[in-house]
Amino acid sequence: LSVADLVDESYRRIGEVEDRVKAFLTLNEEGARRRAAELDDRLGDGEAKGLLFGLPAGIKDNIVTRGLRTTCASKLLDNFKPVHHATVMDKLDAAQSITIGKLNMDEFAMGGSNENSAYHVTRNPWNLEHVPGGSSGGSAAAVAAGEVFFALGSDTGGSIRQPAAYCGVVGLKPTYGLVSRFGLVAFASSLDQIGPVTRSVEDAAYVLQAIAGHDPLDSTSANVDIPDYLSALTGDVRGLRIAVPKEYFGEGIDPAVKDAVLTALKVLESQGAVWEEVSMPHNEYAVATYYLLASSEASSNLARFDGVRYGVRSSEAESLLDVFVKSRSEGFGDEVKRRIMLGTYALSSGYYDAYYLKAQKVRTLIKRDFDVVFEKFDLVLGPTAPTPAFKLGAQVDDPLTMYLNDIFSIPVNLAGVPAISVPCGTNAEGLPIGLQLIGRAFDESTVLRAAHAYE
């Protein structure tokens, strides 16, 4: 099997299902075929294979790719072709995967259903009437539909794990600082992380191995040794201590999700893990805290989109101020505008102490809940999301309900720790359910080991 064959198969599958799934925003067919030929030649010359040699990959459209359109699913960046690669793209090139195309998402990664994309909605491959989740919905749908072998997504408040859960695939959010954010279009810089979306835990370990590591171009990148994640996949979880927070099974959780997650816990127990119920009392403030902080950071980060430096400029503008106002008014969608207004308000003088500063303090309390639990336990177990994938259109007019989907994924980003979503069954309609395993900072090995043993 040549790399060209793999790439052919990927585009063949895209041709077969993409008109229904609609996971992609841009295809890279010419570039991918050129690269495949190059890799096949080099192998003929006897060169050693990279870690991800020849594997077809899809990239979320908020990760910049040299010469390949990068829109963040926003009209504002409709014509944006980056002149450089994100660090993760340099790493994928070094590992020799093939970039098949750029994947749909909620605009600027704000949302949980892909319905905030300015281009089209992606559908859940398991049931086309349902959302794929978000914001990395294109990443999860493309992997679930077999269009690519793996995808990269980004996770600010659940955006890798929730769509992975909804689409029945594996999604890993690494520890904050493990994977470089250089070239990831910033949404909330203190929360954003890039991570893999794959069909198996082993694949997630391979992709993480390829993209993790210190990067001088990202000032928050951690300078830590990268372990061999593959050697962590021993299948042995004997003696592993698992905390099960009672707050993760309270009000609002779908009974099918609760059953599936508790059944998964029993499986890990039968494999030799031990567990105890714990309390994480500040969990209930996580959604409010996150939406304040993430919106505040977003309002500042998105100030760079002024119609001058990047992307689309309004043709109606008559003065410089007009360029800013009209380009942004025409370029941003409703959810993005909502966040910018919320964030600007929370950061304004007079409200800063009451909202932004208060939220920062609560963030510390949420992080401490994890610190306390990790003194005694190796992992925290719970559902990834309170329900399976909902129907398209069901929550578009109700941002608050949409925000509540993130209740179990958001505390992880606020604390900066790693977490994985692994499929753990389906509901009566056959829609997938995700099990979430959360680990200590930089202990991806334990997260992967347990997820792999369970899977």
Residues that bind ligand GLN (CB under 6 A): 109-112, 135, 155-159, 187, 294, 406
| 159 is an active site residue | yes
Q: How far is the CB of 295 from ligand GLN (least distance, A)?
A: 8
Q: How far is the CB of 155 from ligand GLN (least distance, A)?
A: 5
* C-alpha Rg value of the chain to the nearest Å: 21
When CB distances to ligand GLN are compared, the closest residue is: 159
Identify whether the C-beta of residue 140 lies closer than 8 Å to the C-beta of residue 385: no
Alpha helices, H only, 63-150: 87-95, 137-144
Specify the residue, 294 or 381, whose C-beta has the smaller distance to ligand GLN: 294
Specify the residue, 248 or 324, whose C-beta has the smaller distance to ligand GLN: 248
Q: How far is the CB of 204 from ligand GLN (least distance, A)?
A: 17
Q: How far is the CB of 396 from ligand GLN (least distance, A)?
A: 13
Specify the residue, 146 or 399, whose C-beta has the smaller distance to ligand GLN: 399
d(CA 17, CA 30) in angstroms, rounded, equals 20
**Considering 10, 154, 159, 221, which one is annotated as catalytic?**
159
Specify the residue, 52 or 437, whose C-beta has the smaller distance to ligand GLN: 437
**Considering 22, 60, 173, 326, which one is annotated as catalytic?**
60
Print burial letters for 166-179: b (CB count within 10 Å at least 16), e (below 16): bbbbbbbbbbbbbb
Q: How far is the CB of 291 from ligand GLN (least distance, A)?
A: 7
**Considering 10, 97, 135, 296, which one is annotated as catalytic?**
135
Identify whether the C-beta of residue 386 lies closer than 8 Å to the C-beta of residue 253: yes
d(CA 7, CA 100) in angstroms, rounded, equals 8
Identify whether the C-beta of residue 293 lies closer than 8 Å to the C-beta of residue 156: no
Q: Which of 104, 156, 162, 158 is nearest to 133 (CA)?
A: 162
Q: Which of 420, 368, 382 is nearest to 252 (CA)?
A: 382
Identify whether the C-beta of residue 92 lies closer than 8 Å to the C-beta of residue 57: yes
Specify the residue, 137 or 213, whose C-beta has the smaller distance to ligand GLN: 137
Q: Which residues form the catalytic set?
A: 60, 135, 159
